[in-house]
């Protein structure tokens, strides 16, 4: 440990008051804090969005480069990437709590934080119900329980409205492409598979792999998707850019191509289990069932 890191850690520990609070995170780990956290570093873009949605941005003292929404979050100091955050920068922010995830942050990062005696709260959400739970938990962490209850109620209302809107229509076969080469798709453990179902579609890869398995183009063509959705990586901190539809347009035998149902969708709306899940769901539903929203 560098001298600067050690000094910053001692300053952070010395600032803590005496009354302890024990929380249980989403992986069932007990996290003990000297007091309710007032200085939070988020290593999870979804959590960062929820903090702002609850009006608790004053509690957020640090974020990652990928925490890019809402735009006001860019005024907060960045600790670097999700995979390789700078521990020296993080400790210098004197956090009471770091929020991390088992999907996107390395286990090694969590272990290093534990060795530095920085409390770390782990989150995980691969279902809509877990997203609702996460909103409630962030409300508790930030002292914004009432705001969290309101956000949960509005989230559930909008999800139910989509269910009702698409219910009268048959489910088209949907291929969602997270990455084109190699072809990566949502599998059975992905929340995106659940979102496609709620939006009135039937994902052709719903039974494959765990979360995001690789898939062959031949297998995708054989399952005759009626709607194809390409993830657009051009928003936020991703460097991948917009999807190219050219390889798909050549597949004239695929029902989706014959019907002109090749679409792109904002990745940041569909792959963050935060406050914008209803917005992403509504976008999906309008792509899959435009007739339900005329």
CATH T-level assignment (fold) for domain 169-293: Rossmann fold (3.40.50)
What is residue 1's predicted lDDT score, i.e. its pLDDT? Answer: 53
Architecture category of domain 3-124 in CATH: 3-Layer(aba) Sandwich (3.40)
Structure confidence at residue 207 as a pLDDT band (50, 70, 90): confident
What is residue 232's predicted lDDT score, i.e. its pLDDT? Answer: 86
Structure confidence at residue 244 as a pLDDT band (50, 70, 90): low
* Pairing relationship of beta strands 227-232 and 173-177 according to DSSP bridges: parallel
What is residue 103's predicted lDDT score, i.e. its pLDDT? Answer: 86
Q: Which residues pair with 30 in a beta bridge?
A: 24
Instruction: Taking residues 183-205, report their average pLDDT.
Output: 94
The per-residue pLDDT for range 266-289, each reduced to its tens digit, is 888 888 898 999 999 999 999 999
Tokens, residue 127: 């279902």
Structure confidence at residue 123 as a pLDDT band (50, 70, 90): very high
Q: Are 80 and 89 in contact (CB under 8 A)?
A: yes
What is residue 15's predicted lDDT score, i.e. its pLDDT? Answer: 46
Higher pLDDT, 266 or 195: 195
Tokens, residue 187: 């599998």
In angstroms, how far is CA 216 from the centroid of its own chain?
26
Mean pLDDT computed over every residue of the chain: 89
The per-residue pLDDT for range 17-74, each reduced to its tens digit, is 446 889 999 999 999 998 999 999 999 999 999 999 999 999 999 999 999 999 999 9
Residue indicated by tokens 């792109």: 264
Higher pLDDT, 109 or 211: 109
Reported as type and span, the H/E element at residue 120 is strand 120-123
The per-residue pLDDT for range 162-177, each reduced to its tens digit, is 999 999 999 999 999 9
Instruction: Taking residues 125-139, report their average pLDDT.
Output: 95
Say yes or no to pLDDT of 128 above 70.
Answer: yes
What is d(CA 224, CA 247) in angstroms, rounded to the nearest whole number? 16
What is residue 17's predicted lDDT score, i.e. its pLDDT? Answer: 46
Tokens, residue 204: 């052709």
Same fold flag, 3-124 and 169-293: yes
Domain boundaries, the chain: 3-124, 169-293
Structure confidence at residue 250 as a pLDDT band (50, 70, 90): confident
What is residue 13's predicted lDDT score, i.e. its pLDDT? Answer: 47
Say yes or no to pLDDT of 16 above 50.
Answer: no
Structure confidence at residue 14 as a pLDDT band (50, 70, 90): very low
């Amino acid at each position: 440990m560098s001298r600067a890191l050690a000094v910053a850690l001692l300053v952070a520990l010395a600032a803590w008051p005496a009354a302890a609070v024990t929380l249980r995170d989403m992986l069932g780990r007990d996290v003990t804090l000297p007091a309710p956290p007032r200085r939070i570093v988020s290593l999870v873009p979804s959590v960062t969005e929820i903090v702002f949605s609850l009006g608790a941005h004053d509690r957020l003292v640090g974020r990652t480069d990928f925490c890019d929404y809402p735009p006001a979050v860019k005024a907060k100091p960045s600790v670097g990437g999700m995979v390789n955050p700078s521990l020296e920068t993080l400790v210098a922010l004197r956090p009471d709590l770091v929020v991390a995830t088992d999907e996107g942050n390395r286990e090694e990062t969590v272990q290093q934080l534990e060795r530095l005696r920085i409390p770390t709260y782990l989150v995980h959400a691969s279902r809509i119900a877990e997203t609702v739970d996460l909103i409630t938990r962030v409300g508790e962490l930030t002292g914004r329980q009432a705001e969290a209850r309101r956000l949960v109620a509005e989230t559930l209302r909008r999800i139910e409205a989509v269910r009702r809107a698409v219910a009268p229509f048959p489910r088209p076969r949907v291929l969602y492409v997270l990455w084109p080469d190699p072809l990566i798709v949502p599998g059975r453990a992905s929340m995106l598979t659940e979102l496609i179902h709620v939006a009135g579609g039937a994902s052709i890869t719903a039974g494959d792999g765990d979360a995001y398995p690789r898939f062959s183009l031949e297998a995708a063509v054989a399952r005759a998707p009626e709607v194809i959705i390409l993830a657009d990586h051009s928003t936020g901190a991703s460097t991948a850019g917009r999807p190219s539809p050219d390889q798909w347009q050549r597949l004239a035998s695929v029902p989706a191509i014959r019907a002109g149902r090749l679409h792109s969708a904002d990745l940041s709306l569909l792959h963050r289990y935060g406050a914008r899940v209803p917005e992403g769901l509504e976008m999906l539903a309008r792509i899959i069932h435009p007739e339900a929203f005329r």
